Amino acid sequence: MANYHGLEFRTALEARWAAFFDLAGWQWRYNPAAVDDWKPDFEVTFPCGHSECPDTHTLLIAVLATKDLDSVRGHPALQYTYQEHFTADAGALFGSEPAATTWDMSHGAGGGHFDVAFWVDDAAKLWAQAGAQVTAPTR
């Protein structure tokens, strides 16, 4: 368990992602509702300035303690891409650092494969700052 901003998270990695989202200016919600048989760890909304997109994009995120996302390519989060009936723009995998993130979604006139570095300048710097904001719970 870990704490961030007065909230207790199941893992330090989840808490660190919450801190990262705040530093990046992304709105987030922890433990959103289940989608089919999958329970995301976060719902995040972040700004998009593209003229052919809405003002924001929304992801449902599974946080996994891995740098090797190829090893979890069958994860349910990745089943949710480009779907009009889905409650978010995409499902996403967020691993143990910003370089280990992936999702596919519509963007602009098309869409494609995205990661945190595409959307957040200085992601590595923010990740380091986020780590300093997470604490172990006091009992």
Total number of domains constituting the chain: 1
- Cβ–Cβ < 8 Å for 72, 63: no
- Cβ–Cβ < 8 Å for 59, 103: yes
pLDDT tens per residue across span 69-84: 888 888 888 887 766 6
- Cβ–Cβ < 8 Å for 42, 61: yes
Position 132 in a domain: no
Position 133 in a domain: no
Position 118 in a domain: yes
The predicted structure's pLDDT at residue 103: 84
Q: What is the pTM of this model?
A: 0.88
Residue 82 is part of which domain span?
2-125
pLDDT tens per residue across span 1-60: 898 988 999 999 999 999 999 999 999 999 998 888 889 999 999 887 665 656 778 899
